[in-house]
Structure 1
């Protein structure tokens, strides 16, 4: 398994859009889970973070291949993927994608 994480810096005043995104994904969990199945994602998590007054989304993925996850999701085969990428484009600040350097990921059981 591979894993990846990063921060997405939000444009000021986009908190309502983040709530819309969260509510939409939450109300369409079956569709979101289907995308994870196609992408061979084991886990995907999102968090809101405030760092010195700037707002961020923190994401984490564990999947068979992180590269494959992005290749498949960018095909926009599921309407929820289209919604996700379009909304992210509206809320992400310029140069707002910050990838984290993977160090260690400890699964409960060996995968």
Structure 2
């Protein structure tokens, strides 16, 4: 059985270029990003950009064997892409900008 999690990251004003840098870097290093997901036993990781009343956010979603394990493994910074990700996220995240969503329902196509 898989676990899932989601949340919003409120962005500091004027960090849209940094978000583009992050997106382009991850996209150009997909093999490394995929290796990270493999280590974390992540099935799906998705990111979205959202504008709510003029405030910019990133919305993230994860499905994995263990959400706790995802964060434990990712913090070991085994892959250089992990260090890049966390450093850039720290630069663009507003104070108190991490907003976790309450998991309600995740419907996979098959339950294996």
TM-score between both structures, scaled by the size of structure 2: 0.99
Q: 1:23 Cα deviation (Å)?
A: 0.1
Match of 2:100 in 1: 99
Moved over 6 A (4+): none
Q: 1:30 Cα deviation (Å)?
A: 0.3
Q: 1:91 Cα deviation (Å)?
A: 0.1
Q: 1:34 Cα deviation (Å)?
A: 0.2
Structure 1: gaps spanning 5 or more residues: none
Structure 2: gaps spanning 5 or more residues: none
**Distance in 2 between the 1:36 and 1:55 partners?**
26
Match of 1:71 in 2: 72
Matched, 1:15 2:16: yes
Number of residue pairs matched by the alignment: 111
Q: What RMSD over aligned residues (CA atoms) do the two structures have, in Å? A: 0.3
Match of 2:35 in 1: 34
